[in-house]
Chain A
């Protein structure tokens, strides 16, 4: 009637537990989410209001540290799942971004080479054009940056006018430390 396997269209290792009895927990994150956030709230004699203890900070740290805790407790399926190994993905993404940029630069160089007439005397004009282009690009890049941040939420605003790449780094760095 209630075959648990049928309940899970996308069966993940972490959730593959029998329905009843001896369910050795599930994802610690799911448990924490429930025991900390839900359930009956009754004031005990020991007055510890979970919401008073800088709960936000605690929670944020919990969210992050629960991954480590879970790992210690042997829940580490994500480490073997190449899909989820975040660090590798970051590196891969960065690698891809860098390659894209390199390709773009090369394409631009080729274009310029192709456009350059043989024995073109007006070196100075070319240079002037390049200068103008650089300035234009810089201005646009500034504007583009601002527009991007304007789309984003406040936290990103705080990051100010770093490049997107640096901002990403910084944010992740903070996340891990906090």
Chain B
């Protein structure tokens, strides 16, 4: 084995052209490896970083991972901008270009199927955050009012309020999640396909409010505006209605919907090529409709409850 390997970013059709000055990880020029009408975008990588042992170590080095991820993403974006593309997962490394050719030949039909399905569609990310405080104001109900008689003893009263507050939070959370379900369903009407991913960790999203939807939608070219319209309509409706449909007190923007994209179809190329592998993801909650986050994911204590989607 030589001391360099071939890092693969994405597979596209051979007639695609992602530009001449594309640079990949470690700022090395990217080139195409063509076979059977397909092209793999690759670049050379040193095995002292991308060999099996160093990789295992370096993947723990978050700065390294961050840099590689951005370079990887940059190439994938360029390739996807030039035509249908199937992004390959981070750090897919081959011993040489022969192996890449062999792969393109062997899996030609699978790749072709994916590329056909992707076509000129783009992936859009839609994340919805619910602000519990704003939702509380909109949906109404002061914390604790539903408990009935409040004890005269301050300690007990405090505990009653606290407990009512927790119930309130749970109720609000369920309402927010129900809205997210409806938003997802509406977006799926516009999109060719939709997928819900696990909500991001607050430290990843940088936000403390509840991420109730982390969706990805494969949208036909030209229908982006419809997607945007759905999002806008939901943000507006939710503000008017509060958590309870039609039962709100006053309008408040408690639902914050973020749209990101267009992305390369990262979320819609994963399963098809893998039918002869066992995909651990298949059993993971992010594939399910309810998107329950994995245990321990949300950080703040009270946000952990009631995050299991609609029951």
A interface vs B, CB < 8 Å?
1-2, 6-10, 12, 15, 19-21, 23, 25-48, 50-51, 53, 58, 60-70, 72-73, 78, 84, 86, 89, 104, 107-108, 111, 133, 136-137, 140-141, 144, 147-148, 151-156, 164, 167-168, 171-172, 175
Contacts and interface: CB of A to CB of B under 8 A. Distances in A.
Contact of A7 (B163, B228, B296, B305): B228
A29 B200 contact: yes
B80 to A, nearest CB: 10
B258 A154 contact: no
B212 to A, nearest CB: 14
Interface string B276-293: 010111000010000000
Contacts of B296: 153, 155
Interface of B: 5, 8, 11, 47, 50-52, 55-56, 59-60, 62-63, 65-66, 69-70, 72-74, 76-77, 81, 86-95, 99, 103, 107, 114, 124-125, 153-156, 158-159, 162-163, 166, 170, 197, 200-201, 203-208, 216, 222, 224-225, 227-228, 231-232, 235, 256-263, 266-267, 269-270, 273-274, 277, 279-281, 286, 295-296, 299-302, 304-305
A9 B114 CA distance: 31
B174 to A, nearest CB: 14
A48 B91 CA distance: 8
Given A41-B273, A48-B52, A69-B63, A8 B301 contact: no
18 contacts: A6-B228, A10-B235, A10-B258, A12-B258, A28-B69, A30-B260, A32-B204, A39-B90, A40-B89, A41-B270, A44-B92, A53-B56, A66-B66, A69-B66, A89-B208, A140-B159, A152-B304, A167-B301
Given A137-B155, A148-B166, A151-B305, A9 B235 contact: yes
Contacts of A69: 62-63, 66
A149 to B, nearest CB: 10
B236 to A, nearest CB: 8
Nearest to A21: B81
Given A45-B94, A104-B158, A133-B153, A2 B280 contact: no
B87, B216, B299, B305: residue with the most chain A Cβ atoms closer than 10 Å: B299
Contacts of B274: 40-41
A78 to B, nearest CB: 4
A64 to B, nearest CB: 5
Contacts of A35: 69, 72-73, 76, 87, 89-90, 266
A106 to B, nearest CB: 11
A44 B93 contact: yes
Q: B90, B208, B216: which has the most chain A beta carbons within 10 Å?
A: B90
Nearest to B8: A44
A39 B74 contact: no
B155 A37 contact: no
Contact of A51 (B224, B231, B280, B295): B280
A57 B307 CA distance: 22
A70 B62 CA distance: 11
Given A144-B163, A175-B299, A15 B260 contact: yes
A86 B201 CA distance: 14
Contacts of A66: 62, 66, 203-204
Contact of A8 (B47, B204, B259): B259
B257 A10 contact: yes
A6 B225 contact: yes
